[in-house]
Chain A
Amino acid sequence: MQTGCDSDRLSLYYDNMLPQDEMEAMKLHIEQCPHCTKWLAECSALSALLQEEMNPPADFSGRVLEGLPPQDKKIQTISSWRPVISFVGLAACAAIVFGLSPQTIDPTPDMIPRSTVELPSSPIVDDGASMSSSTMTEQTPPAYEYPDTDAPPPADMSPALDTSSTQGGRNPGATDITPIYFSSNAQPNYESFYLLAETLDSPPVAILVLSQYPTDPHYLGFLPEEESLSVSSAFPDLAYATLSYEQVFRVSPLFGATFTESETDFYLLVLPLSS
């Protein structure tokens, strides 16, 4: 057991993060060590200094209230999940309504879940700062059960799709899509995806990332580049699609998302698919 004047261990002691026996040993050491006693007192003073409140500029709250954006829509509980569209339908719908190019919707046959599994009875709603209880370093995608037969490749990914009628248009069928997950506009990062992976155990879903950031279709959130995660590499078993800057503005109203000119607007949608 280590004791002694070790700042790393003193810091852990300060936060009560050492095992109980080591806490007691460290306490005994500190009682006899002026250096460590002083270190802890300084640490405590540092905490108090860091936690001091600061007055914001005058009328800060007034300016906040003047600039309030629209609130997100409250997601209603879905009593039972039912697949409303097929992946082919979604792909066609997305392509027709939003003018998706074949490059931006990229589900290969191997990426399409092929079984229908019951979803949770209520949707998952990201409150904007959600934190999963799991260890985020695990990158295991959710387990899926595949039938014996292969699903056909999605024919609707053909570049021959006519998207000319999509400008300002709205496919009536698209309104049937009920998101089973709808993030808030508070910069969800890939924690959200891990949360999804845990909770949406094995549903056939499509993920739409709505963002004005050109890199966000590939990198979720605003993590350092080396910590960012490609959607496709993180969840190869999920069908997914990403939308470009222009497409975002056309698709967002369908799901109640209100995009502003803010560069931080960022929505994450998970849509049900039928097998």
Chain B
Amino acid sequence: MPPHTQEEKRLVHKAKNGSQIAFGELVSLHEKKIFALCYRMMGNPDDAQDAAQEAFFSAWRALPNFKEESAFGTWLYRLANNACIDLLRKQNRYKTTSLSQEFEEGEEGAELQIPDNTTRPDTKFEQKELGIALQEGLDSLPSNHREVLLLREISGLSYQEISEKLDLDLGTVKSRIARGRTTLRKFLLEKGNFSP
């Protein structure tokens, strides 16, 4: 079901008034997208599940005061992003595990990161080869670059919204999105299984 529908609004209103059944339907509607965002941010299914769960918990808690100025799904994306950053920070994985190697053209503060091999997807979690390569590519990005790219690509935030949310100037947002795309594209092409 696409967002912004009357049905979703009806569910949101019911959930705001405490209906767990309505909230359960909202979870079912959005869990695949939210889990995907969390997986792309966290890099492994266990952490993705924790972050996605926390995002839905946050949504439930805050629903009575949800002003509906944005679509429920958009709001949920933001909560999920917050939950991921929080979890990465607790694990000291936000802007950490980095090499001294400069990232791309040496943007200030940006370093190329080594994928954390302790959190690779386990074998029971099936993914297509390209999906795995994509995740490796994402893991190779500095976490603050990955965050900006995913806010754009998955959460669908505008450049201005990303700039405001992360307190970055617009130029930095533009640069991180462009370099994230360039790096990921190069990574996938080198892996040899990326052909549009």
| Pick from A50, A67, A72: contact of B150, CB under 8 Å | A50
| Complex interface residues of chain B between 106 and 130 (CB less than 8 A to chain A) | 130
Please indicate the chain B residues that have their CB under 8 angstroms from the CB of A54 in the complex.
32, 35-36, 39
Please indicate the chain A residues that have their CB under 8 angstroms from the CB of B189 in the complex.
42
Q: Is the CB of B185 within 8 A of A39?
A: yes
| Pick from B54, B75, B130, B196: contact of A44, CB under 8 Å | B196
Bound-state Cα–Cα, A63 to B61, Å: 16
Residue of A nearest to B18 (CB): A71
Please indicate the chain A residues that have their CB under 8 angstroms from the CB of B130 in the complex.
49
Q: Is the CB of A65 within 8 A of B62?
A: no
Residue of B nearest to A57 (CB): B49
| Pick from A63, A72, A135, A187: contact of B64, CB under 8 Å | A72
* Given known A-B contacts A46-B185, A68-B57, A191-B164, A52 and B131 have beta carbons under 8 A apart: yes
| Complex interface residues of chain A between 1 and 60 (CB less than 8 A to chain B) | 7-8, 10-12, 14-15, 17, 38-39, 41-47, 49-57, 60
Q: Is the CB of B64 within 8 A of A17?
A: no
Please indicate the chain B residues that have their CB under 8 angstroms from the CB of A75 in the complex.
65
Bound-state Cα–Cα, A185 to B56, Å: 12
Please indicate the chain B residues that have their CB under 8 angstroms from the CB of A7 in the complex.
178, 181-182
* Given known A-B contacts A12-B174, A15-B152, A49-B134, A41 and B62 have beta carbons under 8 A apart: no
**6 tightest Cβ-Cβ pairs between the two chains A and B:** A45-B196, A184-B62, A129-B78, A11-B178, A128-B62, A53-B32
B contact set with A: CB distance below 8 Å: 16, 18, 20, 23-24, 27-28, 31-33, 35-36, 39-40, 45, 48-49, 52-54, 56-67, 69, 75, 78-79, 82-83, 85-86, 89-90, 94-95, 130-131, 134, 144, 149-150, 152-154, 159, 161, 163-165, 167, 169, 174-175, 177-179, 181-182, 184-185, 188-189, 194-196
